[in-house]
Structure 1
């Protein structure tokens, strides 16, 4: 892989927003290209092969949702990160389900954009490095015991995601979603579960209070000695992930509904929304220290059949 800085395509119809995001990303060491609408973005992506696309949702002409769908068809391994504003919540959920990898509320760009892109690219890299052995593997069982070092997550994700590709559970278009969901769930278990660092601290002192408490807890044996247990059981029909931390848990009934527009920009709801968008079933235990996530097999032939049926219906209507 080249040592050249990663290339990010930034798409927004606001010149001010484009300038802000370009400045943030170049300061973080990325190269950038820009486009002010979806059609131009598609052309630039085809010509320059960026490593990641950041796009606004609501633009004249081709919307951000349309752009996500087109990129997902043409370059399913190209990750797309959304920038969202109040009022675009439902559209953003559609875009995540259509292939976008993550999102950042516009009010949090300065704090979260570069970090989200770094994490998303890391997940994408782990996806590209996996080998497929589908014709040999029929069932997989993995048990991991992890400390709270989130710098190892890219390696952990690669190990957990590989069986899903090998068994044919996920497609090129959906395998990155698994990595994003697992990344969020594992960080929750390590940081919020074992280290007991609340999400609310991210809004204090530009996030420095959040970082400082994590570092302090990692040096405190009471918290640092706790482990995260991960189990994966998979066959060609489904994968079941169970992630358990050793923290005190939380009141599951107090979880905000992340799909409610009122909670869209809440720091504590972002990870859960991504997990629920990308997994087929999600459950917490009563103690609040375990999450079970199920991903069912994606059948590309069934998707194609559905598309064919729609085309037939369209033809009949035209007649």
Structure 2
């Protein structure tokens, strides 16, 4: 008897865990049964809220979710999942009239989509593609564990829309050495630092200007105007990273070519004062809360972040300027 080509065991890896989400019982039952027959471990939810709770608790490898659901829809669920676990593949299931939402979900990080009514073969093929992504990522993580030292230098244009993808490349060597919480904290903090370097540093967009532009739906115009300024468009963000297993730490140094800022006044502010700020200083408070070591240098346009692989406390603290970490 021929073996089912879509049987996950035939792909030669341990059993993956898929979370299926749909408010229609018939569709949910079909998704659940198909994944189980394929050899996957399965969890099911009929609402986005329940799905998010299951995801946070069980950390499944793959999510298949309907777009249109009462309460939390598939787009919002995808966004929340990608915040928690950027590498988790999400398959969006759409119906007629959901095309715009599906496109938004794909832009938010969904890896694939199915359109109702779908054929069983189409469902299985889509799941196999996403499981292959999971397994490729697992191989990458295993390979990364054999790399004991990495030193890299990057020079970046002022393109905020590319920061998220860039971070995936920058942080890949260190991913296997960190807990889920450390990975999330490091990614959020580095994203904040890179965005600050581009917007506030190189392009000289103040927190107040950005807030007003966002509220007026004119942020893209503001960004393009600054990038077209001959005085600003040649500026670059420079990033040095060092991953060292023997030293058990990851160091990232970020420099912009702006005028800097008085970071010392933010260090001396109390948590309540920082939280009250609408724009300026809130990013520093976020970084200060998430990371154990973050050092600003000189006039504030250079910052060094250090994370220790065995540091589980993540105690907050910005430090006075030092000679810097040699990367």
TM-score, length of structure 1 as denominator length: 0.55
1:119 positional shift: 9.5
Matches within 5 A, 1:1-319: 33=47, 45-46=53-54, 49=55, 71=56, 74-75=58-59, 121=82, 124-126=85-87, 131-132=140-141, 133-166=143-176, 168=177, 170-204=178-212, 206-208=215-217, 210-236=219-245, 237-255=248-266, 260-266=271-277, 267-298=279-310
* CA shift for structure 1 position 210: 4.8
- Residues 126 and 225 from structure 1, CA distance in 2 versus in 1: closer, same or farther, beyond 3 angstroms? farther
Structure 1: gaps spanning 5 or more residues: 1-6, 8-31, 36-40, 50-70, 79-113, 303-319
Query: Number of residue pairs matched?
Result: 205
1:129-150: CA deviations, max 9, x gaps? 5721244211110100000012
Return the alpha-carbon distance in structure 1 between the equivalents of residues 159 and 80 of structure 2.
15
Q: Which residue of 1 aligns with 2:109?
A: none
Secondary structure in 2 aligned to 1:173? helix
Cα distance per residue 1:182-238 (max 9 Å; x no partner) = 110000000100000001123426154654322210111211210000001121211
State the TM-score, normalized to the length of structure 2. 0.53
8 Å contact 1:195–1:247 — kept in the other structure? yes
Alpha-carbon deviations, 1:133-176, whole Å to 9, x = none? Answer: 2442111101000000122212211111111124x2x1133212
Q: How far off its partner does 1:260 sit? A: 1.8
Bigger shift: residues 255-264 or 187-196: 255-264
Q: Greater CA radius of gyration, 1 or 2?
A: 2
Q: 1:262 to 1:287 in 2, by over 3 A?
A: closer
Q: Which runs of 5+ in 2 are unaligned?
A: 1-20, 22-45, 63-74, 89-133, 314-327
For the 8 Å contact 2:243–2:249, the answer to whether it is kept is: yes
Residues 173, 243 of structure 2: 8 Å contact kept: yes
**Greater relative CO, 1 or 2 (CA 8 Å, sep 6+):** 1
Higher helix share: 1
- Structure 1 residues 76, 282: closer, same or farther in 2, change over 3 A? farther
CA distance, structure 1, for counterparts of residue 258 and residue 52 of structure 2: 47
- Aligned-residue Cα RMSD (Å) equals 3.6
CA contact (8 A) 1:238 1:294 kept: yes
Distance 1:172 1:217, change over 3 A: same
